[in-house]
Amino acid sequence: MNEKSISIEDVLSLPLDPKEQKKAVEEKVPCVAEGRLKVYDPNNNNVKKFLELLKSRLNRSVVGSMTGCIHCGMCSEACHYALARPDDPTMVPAYKGDQIRRIFKKHFDWTGSIFPWWVHAGSPKNDEDLNRLKNIVFGTCTGCRRCTLNCPMGVDTAVLVRLTRGLLTELGIVPEGVFVVSKDQWETGNQMGVTEEEYLETLEWMSEEISEEIGDPNFKIQVDKEDCDFIYTINPREVKYDPRSIGQAAKIFYYAGESWTMPRFGWDMTNFGLFSGDDKLGGYVAKNLYEAAKRLRAKRIVISECGHGYRSTRWEGYNWAKYAQNIPSESVLVTLIRYISQGRIKVDPSKNPLPVTFHDSCNLARSGDLTEEPRWLLKRACTDFREMFPNRADNFCCTGGGGALSMVEYKPLRMEVAKIKAQQLIDTGAKLVCTTCHNCIDGLGDLIRHYKLDMKVVQVIELVANALVLPAKKEKK
Amino acid sequence: MKAIGLCSHYSRQGDWAFHYALTLARAHDIQLNIFHWLDSPFRFRRDYVYADDKKETLVRVTDELIAKKELELREYYDFWLGDFVKVGFRLCEGNEGAELHRCLHRKEYDVLVVGYPEHGTDFGGEPIEKFASQFRTPVIMVGPDKPNSYHLNQRAVEILDQLGIKQGDWTLIEA
Give residue-wise pLDDT tens across range A300-309: 999 999 999 9
Chain B CB within 8 Å of residue A237 CB: yes
B58 touches chain A (CB under 8 A): yes
**Are A445 and B42 a contacting pair at CB < 8 A?**
yes
pLDDT tops 60 at residue A477? no
- Between the alpha carbon of residue A403 and those of residues A18, A250, A367, the distances in Å are 19, 26, 16
Query: Average per-residue pLDDT in chain A?
Result: 95
CB-based contact, A213 to chain B, within 8 Å: no
Residue B40, pLDDT score: 77
pLDDT in tens, B58-95: 787 888 888 999 999 999 999 999 999 999 999 887 77
Task: Count other C-beta atoms under 10 Å from residue A10's C-beta.
Answer: 12
Closest Cβ–Cβ partner in B45, B98, B101 for A442: B45
Indicate whether A215 pLDDT > 60. Answer: yes
Q: Which residues, listed in sequence order, are joined to residue A342 by a DSSP beta bridge?
A: none
pTM: 0.91
Binned at pLDDT 50, 70 and 90, residue B126 comes out as: confident
Select, from the ranges A89-98, B35-44, B119-128, the one with the highest average predicted confidence (pLDDT).
Answer: A89-98
pLDDT of residue B63: 83
To the nearest whole angstrom, how far is the Cα of B59 from the nearest Cα of chain A? 9
- CA-nearest residue to A243 within chain B is B98
Nearest CA in chain A to B62: A20
Confidence of residue B98 (pLDDT cuts 50, 70, 90): confident
User: Dihedral sign, CA of B45, B48, B50, B56?
Assistant: negative
Q: Give the nearest partner residue to B98 out of A201, A242, A408, using CB atoms.
A: A242
Encode A448-463: b = buried (16+ Cβ within 10 Å), e = exposed. Answer: bebbeeebbbbbbbbb
Give chain B's mean pLDDT: 90
- Check if A238 contacts B (Cβ < 8 Å): no
Is A115 an 8 Å CB contact of chain B? no
- A474 Cβ contact partners less than 8 Å away, ≥ 6 residues apart: A214, A215, A216, A255
Residues from chain B contacting residue A20 (CB–CB below 8 Å)? 60
The rounded radius of gyration (Å) of the Cα atoms in chain A is 23
Query: Out of B44, B58, B94, whose CB is closest to A442?
Result: B44
For residue A119, give how far its alpha carbon lies from the nearest alpha carbon of chain B (Å).
42
- According to the model, what pLDDT value does residue B24 have? 97
Which of A176, A208, A405 lies at the smallest CB-CB distance from B45?
A405
Q: Is residue A316 a contact partner of residue A283, using CB atoms and an 8 Å limit?
A: no
How far is residue B66's CA from residue B72's CA, in Å, rounded to a whole number?
A: 10
Partners of residue B60 in chain A, C-beta under 8 Å? 20, 176-177, 180, 408
Nearest-Cα residue of chain A relative to residue B103: A205
Q: Residues A105, A120: contact at Cβ < 8 Å?
A: yes
A176, A201, A241 member nearest B45 (Cβ) = A241
**pLDDT above 70 for B45:** no
pLDDT for position A449: 87
B45: which chain A residues are within 8 Å (Cβ-Cβ)?
237, 241, 405, 442
Nearest to A205 among B45, B95, B105 (CB): B105
- Size of the A and B interface in Cβ pairs below 8 Å: 52
Taking CA atoms, B108 is separated from A245, B29, B78, in Å, by 24, 15, 20
Alpha-carbon gap, residue A32 to B14, rounded angstroms: 43
B50 and chain A in contact, CB less than 8 A = no
CA distance A58 to chain B (A): 36
Contacts A201 to B, Cβ<8 Å: 102, 105-106
Distance (Å, rounded) from C-alpha B4 to C-alpha A240?
Answer: 23
Report the gap between the CA of B44 and the closest CA in chain A (Å): 6
Residue in A450, A437, A307 with CA at minimum distance from that of residue B42? A450
Chosen for mutation from B47, B63, B93, B136 (greatest number of chain A CBs closer than 10 Å) is B47
Distance between B98 CA and the closest CA of chain A, angstroms? 6
- List of E strands, A47-156: none
* A193–chain B Cβ distance below 8 A for any pair: no
pLDDT of residue A3: 63
Whether residue A170 is predicted with pLDDT greater than 60 in this model: the reply is yes
Q: What is the pLDDT of residue B52?
A: 79
Of residues A40, A78, A83, A84, the one with CA closest to residue A158:
A78
Residue A476 scores a pLDDT above 50: no
Residue A291 has pLDDT above 70, yes or no: yes
Nearest to B88 by CA among B35, B38, B37: B35
Of all residues in chain A, the percent with pLDDT exceeding 90 is 91
Compute the CA torsion angle A389, A392, A398, A402 (nearest 10 deg).
Answer: -170
Nearest to A448 by CA among B48, B125, B51, B95: B125
Closest CA to A132 of A20, A50, A187, A75: A50
B51 contact A CB<8A: no
The whole-number average pLDDT for the span A243-251 is 95
Contact B131, B123 (CB under 8 A): yes
Q: Residue A270 is which amino acid?
A: T
Contact between chains at B60 and A180 (C-beta distance less than 8 A): yes
How many percent of chain A have pLDDT more than 70?
98
